[in-house]
């Protein structure tokens, strides 16, 4: 089975488990039944925002929908699988630092390997979608600012500790 069909197969399986028609699912997410049909056949790829709506209506996580498909949840995917699917991203030495910084703030990162886009989700909602190359460039800039801020805060802490705990200098 082709990878592009797996997302559609997963959607179809969960939809049929709930006994919801393509038309009904489409109505619930403000799309047509034809759109759902195209997605299930692997002929159309939903945006991450639409995928989020589908997952909410089907009562499953995005991880369950994208399992074995052309969308990769970079936040929860094991390192080996992540690297296999993200050659461009993971080839950049800053990638893991960017991903850690985003994840530590409570966001999830999903890569669409067909459209070469990265989406950032917070509380199951897409907050940003950006081309892969821009994700790396903007991420490098973000890391630079985080490092500058961290260094500034460390220096402030050291100055404060020196002030509080420095030995008094005796005068003759």
pTM of the model: 0.47
Which of 146, 112, 132, 128 has its CA nearest to residue 3? Answer: 112
pLDDT at position 4 is 45
CA atoms within 13 A on the CB side of 9: 10
Q: List the pLDDT tens digit at each of the 172 positions of the chain.
A: 343 457 788 899 899 999 999 999 999 999 999 999 998 887 887 877 888 899 999 998 877 777 655 455 555 555 555 554 554 455 566 677 777 788 888 888 877 766 677 888 888 777 888 887 788 788 888 888 888 888 888 888 888 888 888 776 666 5
CATH number at residue 39: 1.10.260.40
Domain coverage including residue 114:
70-164
Q: Among the three residues 27, 50, 67, which one is the final residue of a domain in this structure?
A: 67
């Amino acid at each position: 089975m082709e990878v592009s069909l797996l997302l559609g197969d997963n959607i179809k399986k969960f939809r049929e488990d709930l006994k919801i028609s393509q038309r009904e699912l489409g109505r619930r997410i403000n799309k047509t039944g034809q759109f759902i049909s195209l997605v299930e056949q692997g002929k159309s790829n939903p945006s991450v925002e639409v995928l989020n709506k589908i997952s909410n209506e089907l009562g499953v996580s995005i991880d369950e929908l994208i399992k074995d498909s052309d969308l990769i949840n970079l936040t929860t995917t094991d390192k080996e699988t992540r690297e296999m699917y993200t050659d461009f991203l993971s080839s950049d030495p800053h990638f893991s630092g960017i991903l850690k910084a985003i994840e530590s703030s409570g966001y999830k990162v999903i890569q669409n390997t067909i459209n070469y886009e990265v989406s950032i989700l917070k509380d199951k909602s897409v907050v940003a979608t950006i081309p892969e190359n821009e994700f790396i460039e903007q991420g490098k800039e973000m890391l630079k600012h985080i490092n500058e801020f961290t260094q500034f805060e460390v220096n402030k802490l050291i100055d404060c500790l020196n002030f509080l705990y420095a030995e008094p200098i005796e005068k003759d």
